[in-house]
Amino acid sequence: MPSFTVTAAAQKVNLDASGAAQAPFTVTNTSAQTVRGRLLARPIEPASAEWLSIVGESIRDFGPNAVEQVVVQLNVPPTGPPGPYAFRLDAVSEVDPDEDFAEGPSVAFDVAPPPATPKKKVPWWIFIVIGAIVLLIIVGVVVWLLTKGDGKSSGPDTCLKGYVWREAVANDHVCVTPAVRTQTREDNALAKSRRNPNGGPYGPDTCLSGYVWREAVANDHVCVIPATREQARSDNANASSRRQG
């Protein structure tokens, strides 16, 4: 049985004009002994963890049957996409975080779209400039299509036909199949969700159970399944045989 219970003062909070709000919670130590607990503001996708913080200390000692008020601060930047979002407050025992924890109820909030700006009349000469730019782009694309290599890359790292740059990072020019590059991009996009939010023996880059560092290049700490890391090692070993020249 968990040591904590978490309740919310309201099911929804409203952001002010600056995108800020505070959500109060009540955390109760239901045990007969003092428990050291960690308070975690958990975003519910697609909300962002950067929008949430605990007011005051996030690690506290809860006395026997003690009740404490905890406030979660919301700060949504102006660039936050409009729409409905939610989050919750979790209380986790520092002694046994994997077994002794309580998840609080979800609290909703809405990010409103920015106010509409009045439309201005477009000067007639803008259309001439746009037409000229479009024409230059079309010419550029035609030239590129006529001169690009079969390997979808260029320079000394040009790949053989059927291979493309992996691009695990900006300068990763190891030649791989298009399917591998697609998987690499998906792994990069999911990197944050595969890291342990509580850290671990490797610090903030510690992977969740079942994932390992990809290590496609030096310091590549994107968390992937073991088979993907083996694929990256194989592609690295075969890199020179997949380049032209």
Domain interval for residue 183: 150-242
Domain boundary among 111, 133, 160: 111
Q: Is 29 within a domain?
A: yes
Q: Is 127 within a domain?
A: no
Q: Is 135 within a domain?
A: no
Q: Is 199 within a domain?
A: yes
Looking at the fold, whether 33 and 84 belong to one and the same domain comes out as: yes
Q: Is 121 within a domain?
A: no
pLDDT at 151: 42
Looking at the fold, whether 32 and 85 belong to one and the same domain comes out as: yes
For 121-206, where are the E strands, in sequence order? 164-165, 175-176
Instruction: Give the contacts of 87 (CB within 8 A, at least 6 positions apart).
Output: 23, 41, 42, 43, 44, 47, 51, 52, 72, 74, 106, 107, 109
pLDDT at 244: 86
pTM of this prediction? 0.48
Distance CA 186, CA 191 (A): 9
Q: Is 117 within a domain?
A: no
pLDDT at 149: 46
| Between residues 150 and 245, the one the model is more confident about | 245
Q: Is 130 within a domain?
A: no
Q: Look at the chain and report how many structural domains it folds into.
A: 2
Q: Is 143 within a domain?
A: no
pLDDT at 116: 77
Looking at the fold, whether 102 and 167 belong to one and the same domain comes out as: no
Q: Kindly report the CATH number assigned to the domain that includes residue 36.
A: 2.60.40.2310
pLDDT surpassing 90 at residue 221: yes
pLDDT at 245: 65
- Residue in 124, 127, 84 with CA at minimum distance from that of residue 107: 84
Domain boundary among 111, 138, 161: 111
pLDDT at 1: 83
- Residue in 231, 230, 216 with CA at minimum distance from that of residue 169: 216
pLDDT at 105: 97
Give the model confidence (pLDDT) of 99-113 as tens digits: 999 999 999 999 999
Looking at the fold, whether 92 and 189 belong to one and the same domain comes out as: no
Give the model confidence (pLDDT) of 192-214 as tens digits: 999 999 989 999 999 999 999 99
Amino acid at 236: N
Looking at the fold, whether 182 and 105 belong to one and the same domain comes out as: no
Give the model confidence (pLDDT) of 7-35 as tens digits: 999 999 999 999 999 999 999 999 999 99
Looking at the fold, whether 106 and 155 belong to one and the same domain comes out as: no
